[in-house]
Amino acid sequence: MSATVSTATATSTTAGTARPARPPRPSGLAALVNTRYLRIELRRLARNRRAMIFSLLMPPVFFLIFGTSAGYRTEAVGPHANVTAYIAVSMALYGAMLAAVSGGASVSVERAQGWTRQLRLTPLRPAAYIVTKLSGALALGAVSVAVTLLVGAFSHAQMSATAWVGCALLAWGGSVVFAAFGLFMGYLLPTENVMQVLGPVTALLSFAGGLFVPLDDGSLFHAIAQVTPTYGLAELVRWPLGGDFSWVAVVNVVAWAVVFGVGAAWRFRRDTARV
């Protein structure tokens, strides 16, 4: 009788202290794309006033300052566009880069608030978290590109239909490089300094890479620009305007995408290992 009672007590004690079973994690495509969490991320980005101002307002304002005031704005740039279109495309890429960086760097705030630790208790896979952050950044980047080019279209930017589509897609897709950069920096920098650092750094890289000011071929600044992360993107985005295709630009984009991607993965693994 006593043995029966002891067994029942042990069983009830074990049952009372047992941890609840974690819900099974999804597999296949569902393991990488969580539509519910993506909707939450998009709403969070829409409520971030600083990100919306920097990503959606600054690029069109810069375009209106630099692209509509110069006397040579109607001059041709290659066979398919004028100077105004050239500047509009450059500012569209800048807006996509800002959106991508701010979207990726938001991981720093979520880490400080303990949000990433909470997500580790859910069936959401770490890879799905990264994919969601990148998808949100690209979504905001697409809006930024569309707004900037729309302002350019109403400000006498002229280019062929193929160039409109090609430049927009290249600016949007290429910004994933800076989404990885934002993730990398978001895991690397302190929360209170991340955007204060990344905003000026992105602007400085844009200047150095020839996004704001054209670079003279063969000059020292042109040689330096070729190793910056923005040079390759700027060259590829402007290619549909009628310029020559540059394999140097392709190598630049691929190399920096690998550097930022590996850096983000390295910091992500170290961060989740402590959770």
Quick: pLDDT tens for 77-117. 767 788 888 899 999 999 999 888 887 777 777 777 776 66
55 falls within a domain: yes
Instruction: Give the single-character DSSP code of 192.
Output: G
Cα-based angle 219, 210, 260 (whole degrees, multiple of 5) = 115
pLDDT (mean) for 148-165: 91
CA distance 177 to 189: 18
CA distance 184 to 257: 11
**Residue 220: how many CA atoms within 13 Å on its side-chain side?**
0
pLDDT (mean) for 119-135: 74
121 falls within a domain: yes
The range of the structural domain enclosing residue 212 comes to: 30-273
**CB-based contact 99:140 (threshold 8 Å):** yes
CA distance 122 to 119: 5
Residue 253 has pLDDT above 90, yes or no: yes
pTM: 0.81
1 falls within a domain: no
Instruction: Compare 207 and 25 and report the one with higher pLDDT.
Output: 207
136 falls within a domain: yes
21 falls within a domain: no
11 falls within a domain: no
Instruction: Compare 188 and 74 and report the one with higher pLDDT.
Output: 188
pLDDT at site 183: 85
Which residue, chain included where needed, has tokens 């602007």?
203
Average pLDDT along the chain:
79
115 falls within a domain: yes
pLDDT at site 109: 72
Residue 22 has pLDDT above 60, yes or no: no
Give the chain's domain count.
Answer: 1
pLDDT at site 8: 46
24 falls within a domain: no
CA distance 13 to 8: 8
pLDDT digits (tens, 9 = 90+) for 25-82: 555 445 566 778 788 878 877 787 777 887 888 899 988 887 777 666 667 676 778 8
CA distance 36 to 13: 37
**CB-based contact 246:239 (threshold 8 Å):** yes
Three-state SS string over 125-182 comes to CHHHHHHHHHHHHHHHHHHHHHHHHHHHHCCCCCECHHHHHHHHHHHHHHCHHHHHHH
Smallest Cα–Cα separation from 235: which of 220, 219, 251, 257?
Answer: 251
Residue 171 has pLDDT above 70, yes or no: yes
